[in-house]
Amino acid sequence: MKLLLKGGRIVDPANGVDGDFDLLIEDGRVSRVGRSLPVNGADVLNVRTGWIVAPGLIDIHVHLREPGQEHKETIATGTASAVAGGFTSVACMPNTDPVNDHPGISELIQRKAVEAGLARVYPIGAVSLGSRGEQLAELAAQKAAGCVAFSDDGKPVASALLMRRALEYAGMLGVPIIDHCEDPSLKGEGVAHEGFRAASLGLRGIPGIAESIMVERDIALSELTGGAFHVAHMSARQSLRAVRDAKMRGARVTSEVTPHHFVLTDDALEEPVRYDTNVKMNPPLREAKDRDAMLDGLADGTIDVIATDHAPHHADEKLVEFDHAPFGIVGLETAVPLVFDRLVHTGRIGIKRMIELLSVNPARVLNLPGGSLAEGQPADITILAPDARTDIDAARLRSKSKNTPFDGWSLRGGVAATLVAGRIVYSNE
């Protein structure tokens, strides 16, 4: 079984490749990269001029909701959404029902992913049993069952002592801890970023430093223990500063930001729709200074990864008072157009950096296969169409849930096709 990607520009930063090459796939792996490769009986996929052949994109922060919340998303619909968004691999958070704190659940998730046959799915195990923040889950058993990181995402690891133990123990296993950094007492009953917008709309605020205080704590604990710490969905300028300083010192800290935190601000609480529950997420959309800091961090290397925090919720759950709506939005199918439109076409980052943020670095941070088109690697490939127009229509998303604030947006840039192990799992034709 051979497939030849003919034409197009290959951007493979991990191997220093950026140029017009063909790519031959044999038995699901990259077998050759070169100019004008002979067809030799291979199926041919013509890559259009201007399109980019990149190592498959990897989203290390998604919520697939299965088991337990299948009315929001299933592994089948979530991975369909992933490949439609150009992601060949995703790492799914453990806040399912029950919480993924046990190898049986990790195995179930991976089995369902294989059955779906779309994107690769790597489970992230809970740090603590039930993510209750009390007792460590069996991290070694979870690693053996396929977990690539540990997190109590949705909740912070509130106890500094538990976080210390988790970093020490996971450090032994060579697995990072991903923390949803948020001081619970400063968050309180907050539902939106603490600032003028929330204050004037009468919404309880969550200050940016609720995040950065815990980022600083976790950096200190990481430096104490030597364990790797990854900041989930960073949103506050104070957090960015803490991460930048820590990296200068050589700390083992990495960070991610979501597209909505580098595109939107808390102005979205006011318009176009006041109190739109599809702009309620945690961390909240922050103010312009924070958004601009995220843009700087993406360009200067402080931020390692763009992750979506894909958080599907049923329409009924969002059709309530702002206070009562759940936090989160879907993100898998809007990420690439937003990155192109707001980062690449604005000149903030180049294509190479885009691929680093969406493929090379996510693979590195979680020690995943992928992020490379070297010969012999699995042929997980995303073909990007930088100038294609993408009209976002919530009703047509592959995800089971449609909770996006980007409905109706028209953006420049999109995904042409997605290949997993050499198989075309999505084509935008």
Positions in the binding site for another protein (CB under 8 A): 188, 194-196, 198-205, 207, 264, 267-268, 271-275, 316, 319-324, 406, 408-410
Closer to another protein by Cβ: residue 367 or 410: 410
Residues in the chain: 429
Smallest separation, CB 237 to another protein (Å): 16
Smallest separation, CB 21 to another protein (Å): 36
| Closest by Cα among 332, 87, 114 to 106 | 114
Distance CA 276, CA 79 (A): 27
Distance CA 386, CA 9 (A): 11
Say if CB 360 and CB 55 are below 8 A apart.
yes
First to last CA, the chain: 23
Distance CA 51, CA 7 (A): 9
Distance CA 253, CA 63 (A): 23
Residue found under tokens 């538990």: 162
Smallest separation, CB 315 to another protein (Å): 11
Helix axes 237-248, 288-300, angle to 10 degrees: 30
- State the catalytic residue, choosing from 22, 179, 183, 309: 309
**β-strand pairing of 423-427 with 410-420:** antiparallel
Q: What token pair was written down for 75?
A: 């592994």
Distance CA 9, CA 20 (A): 4
Closer to another protein by Cβ: residue 61 or 291: 291
The DSSP output letter for 310 is B
Closer to another protein by Cβ: residue 262 or 426: 262
Smallest separation, CB 330 to another protein (Å): 17
Closer to another protein by Cβ: residue 271 or 429: 271
The one-letter amino acid at 90: V
- List phi, psi (to 5°) of 85: -90, 0
Say if CB 14 and CB 374 are below 8 A apart.
yes
Smallest separation, CB 349 to another protein (Å): 20
Closer to another protein by Cβ: residue 1 or 288: 288
| CB within 8 Å of 375: residues ≥ 6 apart | 30, 31, 32, 33
Distance CA 94, CA 171 (A): 19
Closer to another protein by Cβ: residue 102 or 342: 342
Closer to another protein by Cβ: residue 168 or 323: 323
Say if CB 414 and CB 333 are below 8 A apart.
no
Residue found under tokens 């104490």: 224
Distance CA 229, CA 37 (A): 43
Smallest separation, CB 362 to another protein (Å): 28
Closer to another protein by Cβ: residue 301 or 408: 408
Smallest separation, CB 406 to another protein (Å): 8
Smallest separation, CB 282 to another protein (Å): 17
Distance CA 268, CA 270 (A): 5
Active site residue 18: no
Closer to another protein by Cβ: residue 123 or 207: 207
102-to-148, 150, 367, 368 alpha-carbon distances in Å = 14, 12, 21, 21
Say if CB 275 and CB 252 are below 8 A apart.
no
Q: What token pair was written down for 103?
A: 């190898």
Smallest separation, CB 148 to another protein (Å): 36
Element (H, E) at 250: none
Which residues does the annotation mark as catalytic? 309
